[in-house]
Chain A
Amino acid sequence: MTTEDDGIEEGISRRDLLKGGMFTAAALSVPLILNPGSTSMSVAVKTTHITDVLVIGSGFAGTFAALEARKNGLSVTMVDKGVVGWSGMSPWASDSRPFDAEIYDRDEWQGNVAMNTEYVNDPRWLDIFMDESLGFFHELRAMGAHDTKPFERGTKVFRTELEQAGVSFVERTMITGLMQDSRKRICGAVGFTYDDSNEESKAVVLSASAVILCTGAGSYKSPGFPIWGQTFDGDAIAYEAGAKIVGKEFNDTHPTFAFAPAAAYEGWKWAQEVTGAYVMVGPPDKLVGGLTLDNALGAFSDGVERRLGMGPGGEPPPGPGELPPGAEERERNKKYLGKGYLKTSGLHLDMGGPPAPPPNDGSGPNLGHRVGGATAGMGVHKSEGIFCSDYSCAADGVEGLYAAGDALGSMLCGAVYPGRGFSSYGSAIQGRRAARSVIEYLKTAPSPNVTQQSIDALITKMWAPRENEKGYSPEWITATLQNTMTPFHILYIKEGRRLDGALASIEFLRQHCVPRMIARDGHELRMAHEVKNMLLNAEMKLRSGLYRQESRGTHFREDFPARDDDNWHCWVTVEDRNGSMAIGKHMLPDAWKPDPRKTYRENYPRVFPGENEFLAKRGINV
């Protein structure tokens, strides 16, 4: 790897402005505000790195991708929007569910996951997960990952492993575009350093023979869940380079708290306070334990219950003699205890079912009961992102581009997240798999060859919000995006006209406001690119949601409130076609469809509002 600085440092210091945050109020209240930090970025320093493999993102997927590529003698540069070891969702990853053939039944797992995810999951990816997850459990244990708290895992284990393997780090750098040669082959990426408290932002040019996107998922920076550093950046740069994106109509539905909607941490701190490996016992359940639409449907039918003691969606806690959700599953899973790898010492075993709400013992702040919608904009782990049709982790139609983890739309899960435990190990498995595909690709791939002109074009586009003298602040665009997309009647309880309305607003923001964004400093430039990516994702979600004229899993259409396997047993993809978003259907094998010998309701036990009536009108007996 070589590094060179070929620019000069210049420009006024904005340190004093940064400290005060004095323009925040103005940014929210004045039309077409002036950009107090407007400056020509043509003099910005440009740093160039050259590597065989560029890994973007350093969580579970990125770590195992980078280690595998280094093991095979390739030079690896890892670039991260944050800092390696603290990055992305990985500091939160707790649950795992390794498959052990000694104690579990493969067919039972396949059947349960298919039913829970409503038959649009990819059984081949689940096979890969079942083949490899126990190996990763042992590897992570050998590395020492099971001897840390979740937020320490990256700094104490992953970062050390990566340093010892000789991976180069480029940190606190946001990637804004992929470099492509004349044949559209991926040859690296460009980005910028946003921390300008000590020196001005720099352009970063990363030349590589192949790129692996391990950029995670995203949300609309909705207050209430620790995913906000992730804003679908991988989807966005891949889409702009010609990749297909899949699975955007499905939603994640994590809960938060009625009186403090930004306090989702309070529901997750149990994980951060304990050292060790969390293991889900038993197979994923057919129905419970997943992130279903129940909270949103509860809010839809009854409004939100604000009395204390109520559960998610407003229902009262179980009465005397009633079993709490998941009780049967927990009882059933006791038979696995003490068998197979569950004999390993020091594990924290979760017997299944939804996580219990934190106890309200009066010691902490009164947060109110749990409500849904904390992760507005996020899709189902492993079921949204860059489309790959052949299990290689290569982006369909874009040579030299690979993806893993939540950036890859592998459809390991389907229309619902089927119980916890697939995310972090799924990412690790896919990261290594992507690296192995890259190793094969690089045996014949040509060296990167990008014109200076195309690099300069990417950099000019990247700096634009810093140079615009007036326009719209990324903060205002973000708030407008949140207000458009987050309400339950747009994102979760869908209906054609409402989706059309939201789409018109999002399209306007993308077409009119994004080219006129202003950023007064490096921090705001990052926000500008993040909201640009979030808006692209919003359009994908609205178009995919409009296109799928049925209901399935976390995709509920009031105007089409039933599953329709004849027409919609498929994945929905979007791709760029001459500047417009083209939408497509990827039909799935008949063998993945629900059992035709069973009734509709046996195959689809969850009932959508209005579903039975809708089907009865069409003469379908549930």
Chain B
Amino acid sequence: MPIEKIHGCIGCENCVKACPTDVIRMDPESSQAYIAYQNDCQICHLCRLSCPVDAISLTPDKAMLPTTSWG
């Protein structure tokens, strides 16, 4: 797993702005950040470093996705 969860979001949007691969988006209904594209997380930690309430957890593990033959 790369980015695991966002727990205790206060809606500041820092993580959305910091993510270089558009993994995190704001939910317009709850006004909280959520993990929209987890597969594209590259574990750079910028979201975690930018979070003022330490709401984001990551692990260092991520395998390359398997590639299939036909597209």
User: Chain B binding site: helix, strand, loop or mixed by DSSP?
Assistant: loop
Tell me, yes or no, whether A140 is within 8 Å of chain B by CB: no
Tell me, yes or no, whether A345 is within 8 Å of chain B by CB: no
Contact with B along A238-267 (1 / 0, CB 8 A): 000000000000000000010011111110
Q: Using a CB-CB cutoff of 8 Å, which residues 216-243 of chain A contact chain B?
A: 221, 223-224, 226, 228-230
B16 smallest CB distance to A (angstroms): 8
Contact with B along A21-46 (1 / 0, CB 8 A): 10010001111110000000000000
B56 smallest CB distance to A (angstroms): 13
Asked if residues B22 and A194 are in contact (CB atoms below 8 Å), the reply is: yes
Tell me, yes or no, whether B60 is within 8 Å of chain A by CB: yes
The number of A-B residue pairs with CB atoms under 8 Å apart is: 120
A258 smallest CB distance to B (angstroms): 12
Asked if residues B39 and A475 are in contact (CB atoms below 8 Å), the reply is: yes
Tell me, yes or no, whether A489 is within 8 Å of chain B by CB: no
B68 smallest CB distance to A (angstroms): 5
Q: Using a CB-CB cutoff of 8 Å, which residues 1-39 of chain B contact chain A?
A: 2, 17-22, 25-28, 34, 36-39
Asked if residues A223 and B67 are in contact (CB atoms below 8 Å), the reply is: no
Q: Give the residues in chain B near A523, CB-CB below 8 Å.
A: 22, 36-37, 40
Q: Give the residues in chain A near B65, CB-CB below 8 Å.
A: 28, 475, 479
Q: Which residue of chain A lies nearest to B69 when distances are taken between CB atoms in the complex?
A: A31
B65 smallest CB distance to A (angstroms): 6
A267 smallest CB distance to B (angstroms): 11
Contacts A195-B22, A260-B61: A82 and B17 contacting too (C-beta < 8 A)?
A: yes
Q: Give the residues in chain A near B66, CB-CB below 8 Å.
A: 28
B19 smallest CB distance to A (angstroms): 8
Contact with B along A330-370 (1 / 0, CB 8 A): 00000000000000000000000000000000000101000
Contact with A along B46-71 (1 / 0, CB 8 A): 10011000000001111011111011
Docked CA distance A228–B23 (Å): 12
Q: Which residue of chain B lies nearest to A364 when distances are taken between CB atoms in the complex?
A: B60
Q: Give the residues in chain B near A33, CB-CB below 8 Å.
A: 71
Q: Give the residues in chain A near B21, CB-CB below 8 Å.
A: 221, 228-229
Contacts A86-B18, A228-B21, A263-B60: A197 and B27 contacting too (C-beta < 8 A)?
A: yes
Docked CA distance A228–B39 (Å): 13
Contacts A15-B28, A30-B70, A479-B64: A151 and B22 contacting too (C-beta < 8 A)?
A: no
Contacts A15-B28, A263-B43: A526 and B64 contacting too (C-beta < 8 A)?
A: no
Asked if residues A265 and B36 are in contact (CB atoms below 8 Å), the reply is: no
Q: Which residue of chain B lies nearest to A265 when distances are taken between CB atoms in the complex?
A: B45
Q: Give the residues in chain B near A198, CB-CB below 8 Å.
A: 26, 28
Q: Which residue of chain B lies nearest to A18 when distances are taken between CB atoms in the complex?
A: B36
A575 smallest CB distance to B (angstroms): 29
Q: Give the residues in chain A near B17, CB-CB below 8 Å.
A: 82-83, 85-86
Q: Which residue of chain B lies nearest to A221 when distances are taken between CB atoms in the complex?
A: B42
Q: Give the residues in chain B near A443, CB-CB below 8 Å.
A: none
Asked if residues A262 and B60 are in contact (CB atoms below 8 Å), the reply is: yes
Q: Give the residues in chain A near B70, CB-CB below 8 Å.
A: 30-32
Tell me, yes or no, whether A480 is within 8 Å of chain B by CB: yes
Most A CB contacts (10 A, CB to CB) among B22, B34, B62, B70 go to: B22
Asked if residues B34 and A223 are in contact (CB atoms below 8 Å), the reply is: no
Q: Which residue of chain B lies nearest to A219 when distances are taken between CB atoms in the complex?
A: B42
Tell me, yes or no, whether A91 is within 8 Å of chain B by CB: yes
Most B CB contacts (10 A, CB to CB) among A88, A223, A526 go to: A223
Q: Which 7 A-B pairs have the closest CB atoms?
A: A229-B20, A31-B70, A263-B60, A262-B62, A83-B17, A226-B44, A479-B67
Given A28-B65, A479-B65, 9 additional A-B pairs, CB 8 A:
A151-B18, A195-B22, A226-B42, A226-B44, A229-B21, A265-B60, A473-B71, A476-B67, A523-B37
Would you give 17 A-B contacts (Cβ < 8 Å), ordered by A? A18-B25, A28-B66, A28-B67, A29-B68, A30-B70, A86-B18, A88-B20, A151-B49, A197-B28, A223-B42, A223-B62, A260-B60, A263-B61, A266-B60, A472-B71, A476-B71, A479-B65
- Please give the residue numbers on chain B whose beta carbons come within 8 Å of chain A beta carbons, in ascending order: 2, 17-22, 25-28, 34, 36-40, 42-46, 49-50, 59-62, 64-68, 70-71
